[in-house]
Structure 1
Amino acid sequence: MNRRNPLAMLLLCIISSLMLLSACSSSADTQAGKEEEKKEHKYEKLVKEKNKELELEPIELTSYSDEIGMTLSGPEHKEFAANGNVVVEGEIEKHTGLKSDYAWIKVRSTGEGPAGDQLEYYTPIEDGKFKQTIHFFNGEGEYSVKVQLPSKDQENYFYDTAAFTVHNVNPEMKRDVTYTPFGRDAGLNVSLDSSFTKENEVFALQGKAGELTEEDTIMLKLRKDTDTWTHVISVKDGRFSYDVPLFYGKGVHELEVLVPDEERENYYQTATTILIDNESSRTMSPIEYSDTYMERGVTLETPLYGGDESEGLYTVKGSIDPKAEFGPQTDHIYITTKKGEDEALDVIPVEDFTFDDSFYLRFGPGTYEVTLSVPEIKEENSDSFRFYGFAKFEVESTGEDKRDLLPSRGVESDDPKIKELAQKLTEGKKADRDKVKAIYDYTAKNVTYDVEKLEDEEFEWDDSALKTLEEKTGVCQDYAYLAIALLRASDIEARFVEGMASGGWWPQRHAWVEANVDGEWLTMDPTWGSGYIKDDKFVADFNEKYFDPDKAEFEKTHTRTGVSY
């Protein structure tokens, strides 16, 4: 009986399997190689067949070529066939007197194609020699090529030196990434294999600009038909990146990348051009940026475009350049939302030079105009704040109108501390009027008036209900913030009323509260209900006179000018 070693048998099986897999893999690779070779032979055969139809006359050079001693080693004929690319190569004997260091090669397609009808190459002339491989951006078809060389006498002037026609037999489309002299001088290099690409709604532009500093900027210019959008982006560590929205729907967008002109201030020159075929039919609204955007070093990451839809809560995200003017002092961003005649102001913090926060579109469904602003940076105190818009866009909201219930600037009605206190104050009370009275009483009894804050105008952008609750002191706005936050946390509509009040010789700006009780707006002024000022000092003296006061009596001292959101 013939016995075999089981281990030897297992090894034999494994080796056989590996040999089989190796053979299969090698066979597959060989097959793919053969297919590619077959394909290449096909186009080379077509080139030969096409060239037989043509006379293949020698290429003719212009008189300017003789003047500067230019010879062309490639191509050799003025009309010929090619398989996907052509090498243009030449030498200039009298190159030292030329006014530019670049040969200008212009390629034009005689037929229509998605990648445009022309492409230009600026090819460096080094020691009198230049060499450029050109591909054919629309694939198979006829192309005319012109070679121009710089003048000996005039700056930015080029003369024709040679022209030829190419019949490309290869259907592959390849639009080379080309750079102008300005782009080359800036060390520009975009991260693309082709300057014609297909994208969906957004194109992620990335690249290097090795000769630009962080003080320089790059301009983007996007076009489609008659629409144009322009934006300026920063350069950091010799690199740049930006997600470019393809605003104008389906079809080819032309993106021009421009770099600063060293000889002219605030002027840009084309560095390269990219064609982007947008596959999405969605149209978007460009964001309007002001000069403040660059001056204050803002980068807005979200949103990239206007026209977004929202259910009523919208997020903005971005950063502040710490090296920009007032960069370290910019610790908050203002957000103005307008819908028709209604307008609201929100504030979001900037922490570690970044901001990422949400705000409410509080006036119900419709189109909102949103403006983002940076604050004026000043040393002196003030009871008012100035700010400068850096971006403006639209948002379409489907949210409900809850303007008097939602949290707002200075009114953190959704904060756990506020909600806990509101529940404690209203516990056991069924009638809204009783709840409102309890909140009035608490605010008037527990907050002292800050006379020094008023006199020294020590108002801060983060004055709020939470701040008042913690410090237990403030001026009229702070009383109002706290009362409104407690009311809204109790599901009672409340609003911040602005006006004038006269307790002495002259009327002063003042703020108080209105609460919706059983469908009627009830007035209350917890500031005046907390006490009075005597000899520039606050005297605590709680009274109920300013809870739902007689309207006629109240208007003798209070003049209502509007509601602030």
Structure 2
Amino acid sequence: MFRKTLRRSLQKGLKKTRNAVILGLSAAALICTPVFAQVRTPESSGSVTYSNGNAVIDASNASQGYVMVKYTGGTSRIKVRITKGTDYTYDLNASGNYEVFPLTEGSGTYTVKVFQQVQGTSYAQVMSQTINVNLADELSPFLYPNQFCNFRADSAVVSTAASITAGVSDPLSKVQAIYNYAVDNISYDYQKAATVQSGYLPVPDSTLASKTGICFDYAAVMTSMLRSQDIPTKLVIGYTGGAYHAWVSVYVTGQGWVDNIIYFDGVNWRYMDPTFASSGKGNAAITSYITNPANYQAKFTY
């Protein structure tokens, strides 16, 4: 009788232990499962459009911080200029497909112009449209993909960002994880930097695949990853010393925009310039340079 009772007790204990282990493993699996934030997808919904036979401007979602433009007039080289306080000039494909351009200077009146190449560096204006923009959220322009940080829900940068931030809920920790990934996994491509042509556009997924890139590639990868995790991020282009350069800034709830930052040491943020940090791992002189705000002058924000 005693043995039978003991056996039953042991069986019950083993069953409880097994169930606890299963629950523990299930919880661990849930914790480590990559979280795919809702990736914002630009739409040319057609509710507010302007056209003249040469180009179409879709401003249906200007309140979300972007316009979409396509050229329908032929196969010439095309440029788009968007102006509020600063002139932002972009190349536009001539294939008749929409491209996304951000409205990064807040609410107000923007002018969108489309130019067609006449010869060499000479261009003729083929369309001009004034658009009154009232942003629903001042952070929206820095959450959507655009021509300079181009990603979709099925992009490799999105799945990679979800994987490396799996189990992480704190935005600051996500920023640090993504920053560390960019620094540790992408090497600076000096040959590409020496031969890159004007008008170059980064392709974040290609940079991940090759594990090499120039400053523009680093910034585009990191911006795409952070935005895909619902962290407002600015891709900034300007000058560091006498060189044209690209870096990133992020928005942290309760703290605001953290500009030109590299890492959070528990008390203060430092420069988040993944290019120099990667090429100068452990170099005290480079660390000193990139933590000095005087060495960075922003020119454009995307």
TM-score bracket, normalised by the shorter chain, equals 0.5 to 0.7
Structure 1 residues 376 and 530: CA distance shift in structure 2, 3 A: farther
Structure 1 residues 414 and 355: CA distance shift in structure 2, 3 A: closer
Residue 334 of structure 1 pairs with residue 69 of structure 2: no
Q: What is residue 512 of structure 1 aligned with on the other side?
A: 247
Choose which of 259, 273, 279 in structure 2 pairs with 1:531.
Answer: 279
The one-letter amino acid paired with 2:209 is E
Residue 416 of structure 1 pairs with residue 166 of structure 2: no
- Residues in 2 aligned to 1:498 and 1:358: alpha-carbon distance in whole angstroms: 18
Structure 1 residues 396 and 473: CA distance shift in structure 2, 3 A: same
Secondary structure of the 1:512 match is strand
- Residues in 1 aligned to 2:283 and 2:171: alpha-carbon distance in whole angstroms: 17
Instruction: Note if contact 1:423-1:490 (Cα within 8 Å) is conserved in structure 2.
Output: yes
More strand as a share of residues: 1
Question: Unmatched 5+ residue regions in structure 2?
Answer: 1-49, 262-271
More helix as a share of residues: 2
The one-letter amino acid paired with 1:555 is N
Structure 1 residues 409 and 344: CA distance shift in structure 2, 3 A: farther
What count of residue pairs does the alignment treat as equivalent? 235
Instruction: Note if contact 2:55-2:73 (Cα within 8 Å) is conserved in structure 1.
Output: no
- Residues in 1 aligned to 2:183 and 2:152: alpha-carbon distance in whole angstroms: 22
- Residues in 2 aligned to 1:546 and 1:434: alpha-carbon distance in whole angstroms: 26
- Residues in 2 aligned to 1:359 and 1:461: alpha-carbon distance in whole angstroms: 16
Task: Output one character per residue of 1:6-45: Cα deviation in whole Å (capped at 9) or x when no partner.
Answer: xxxxxxxxxxxxxxxxxxxxxxxxxxxxxxxxxxxxxxxx
The one-letter amino acid paired with 2:132 is E
Structure 1 residues 556 and 314: CA distance shift in structure 2, 3 A: closer
Q: What is residue 69 of structure 2 aligned with on the other side?
A: 316
Task: Output one character per residue of 1:357-390: Cα deviation in whole Å (capped at 9) or x when no partner.
Answer: 4544454543320011346986xxxxxx996643
Q: What is residue 176 of structure 2 aligned with on the other side?
A: 437
Residue 463 of structure 1 pairs with residue 202 of structure 2: yes
Q: What is residue 111 of structure 2 aligned with on the other side?
A: 369
TM-score by length of 2: 0.63
Matching of residues 445-456 of structure 1 within 5 Å: 445-456=184-195
Residue 404 of structure 1 pairs with residue 142 of structure 2: yes
- Residues in 1 aligned to 2:197 and 2:184: alpha-carbon distance in whole angstroms: 23
The one-letter amino acid paired with 2:232 is E
- CA positional deviation for 1:404: 2.1
Choose which of 371, 377, 392 in structure 1 pairs with 2:128.
Answer: 392
Residue 564 of structure 1 pairs with residue 281 of structure 2: no
Structure 1 residues 386 and 423: CA distance shift in structure 2, 3 A: farther
Structure 1 residues 357 and 563: CA distance shift in structure 2, 3 A: closer
Q: What is residue 33 of structure 2 aligned with on the other side?
A: none
- Residues in 2 aligned to 1:386 and 1:457: alpha-carbon distance in whole angstroms: 22
Instruction: Note if contact 2:55-2:114 (Cα within 8 Å) is conserved in structure 1.
Output: no
The one-letter amino acid paired with 2:215 is C
- CA positional deviation for 1:467: 3.5
Structure 1 residues 449 and 391: CA distance shift in structure 2, 3 A: same
- Residues in 2 aligned to 1:444 and 1:360: alpha-carbon distance in whole angstroms: 27
- Residues in 2 aligned to 1:555 and 1:349: alpha-carbon distance in whole angstroms: 38
| Mean CA deviation greater in 434-443 or 509-518 | 509-518
The one-letter amino acid paired with 1:390 is V
Residue 493 of structure 1 pairs with residue 232 of structure 2: yes
Q: What is residue 291 of structure 2 aligned with on the other side?
A: 554
Q: What is residue 484 of structure 1 aligned with on the other side?
A: 223
- CA positional deviation for 1:433: 1.5
The one-letter amino acid paired with 2:291 is F
Q: What is residue 250 of structure 1 aligned with on the other side?
A: none
Percent identical? 23
Secondary structure of the 2:69 match is strand
- CA positional deviation for 1:442: 1.1
Structure number with larger C-alpha Rg? 1
Matching of residues 172-321 of structure 1 within 5 Å: 299-300=53-54, 302=56, 310-312=60-62, 313-321=66-74
TM-score by length of 1: 0.36
Structure 1 residues 395 and 501: CA distance shift in structure 2, 3 A: closer
- Residues in 1 aligned to 2:285 and 2:110: alpha-carbon distance in whole angstroms: 36
- Residues in 1 aligned to 2:146 and 2:282: alpha-carbon distance in whole angstroms: 28
